[in-house]
Amino acid sequence: MFDMAIDEGMLVIQDVPSKYIICVNDIISKSGDILRLSQPDTKLIALAYMFSKQGKNVKVISDDYTIQNTLKIMNIPYSGIITEGIKGIYNWKKVCEGCKREFDEDYPFDDCEICGSKIFKKRIKVNK
């Protein structure tokens, strides 16, 4: 079935050049979405970004709110299948439950180096 779709040009297998992935990684690092997106998620967003930069009409269909958040930041159209989708843009930060200290996304531990409390991901609404 897939072979026929590929042969007829209905299904295209496409990889994403690293320059688009690097750009998306920069965006998701600034927004904090890097804490919640997998590598396949990032590649999907990079593919949509690449197509939009090539002037193609792009719309990503996903119920994943983090993917939608990143697409909204990048002004790439999206819609959900089951969900209505996000209303605003959110950033994410790593925060200590105890002392409320904020950490960079690459902080490697699950516990705070200051007070020993658990680190959690906090959603922060962006006014845009």
Task: Clarify whether residues 16 and 66 are in a common domain.
Answer: yes
What is the total count of domains within the chain? 2
Residues 6+ apart with CB under 8 A from 127: none
- Residue 75 or 10, more confident: 75
In a domain, 17, yes or no: yes
Looking at the predicted structure, is the pLDDT value of residue 54 above 90?
yes
- This prediction has a pTM of 0.71
- Residue 93 or 56, more confident: 56
Task: Tell me which of 54-58, 68-72, 92-96, 115-119 is least confident.
Answer: 92-96
Cα 9 from Cα 1, distance rounded (Å): 13
Q: In this structure, are strands 89-96 and 102-103 parallel, antiparallel, or unpaired? A: antiparallel
In a domain, 84, yes or no: no
- Residue 12 or 62, more confident: 62
Q: Which domain holds residue 58?
A: 2-79
Cα 94 from Cα 107, distance rounded (Å): 8
In a domain, 71, yes or no: yes
Looking at the predicted structure, is the pLDDT value of residue 121 above 90?
no
Name the pLDDT band for 59 (thresholds 50, 70, 90).
very high
